[in-house]
Amino acid sequence: MATSEVFFGPFKVTTQVFYKTKLSMAVVNIKPILPGHVLVCPLRVVARYKDMTSEEVADHALTVHKVVKVIERVYGTTGATIAIQDGGSAGQSVPHVHTHIIPRKLNDFPSIDDVYTKLESAEGNVGQFLQLQKLRKAVEEQKKELVVESMNRPPRTMEEMEEETKLLAGELEKENESKL
């Protein structure tokens, strides 16, 4: 879908982008908390919500609005957790504004708010995982060994993420065509 390189903070996510506007993008998540857990970000790498332009904020909100409708339909859910962790002290693990869209069903967690605990736990820390992955690759290139801590929720493969990217991109195209 994406034609030029696209970044989520310092990480290239070009092949995980399933929807893109002039100012925003939606990407599949390498470590979804639940099936269909995606992120919406401004295209410009900006760390904090308050640092976005008014135009970026408006486009971001409209993108979240559009994507959540498609995600709920595709994953057959009855609700969504829509969350922004704005800054490191709020649990933001990658210094790039991103809205989590997590499709929800009744009783998918023991407590409704357990999703926030997951987002803030080691298994929800995508930034830490991506940094470790980047470090592992650098060390492999130098023919050294690195022990990486095991995390409960395994990351998806690039193939799995690209498959979901194609599915969701197609669904958003259908959504756009139905509005014409």
- Which of helix, strand or coil describes residue 18? strand
Kind and range of the H or E element at 15?
Answer: none
Catalytic residue chosen out of the listed positions 37, 60, 96, 98 = 98
98 belongs to the catalytic site: yes
Provide the residue type at 82 as one letter.
I
If you write DSSP's letter for every residue of 35-91 in order, what string do you get? TT-EEEEESS--S-GGGS-HHHHHHHHHHHHHHHHHHHHHHT-SEEEEEE--SGGGT
Q: What gap in Å lies between CA 96 and CA 8, rounded to an integer?
A: 6
Q: What gap in Å lies between CA 142 and CA 18, rounded to an integer?
A: 34
Active-site residues: which are they? 98
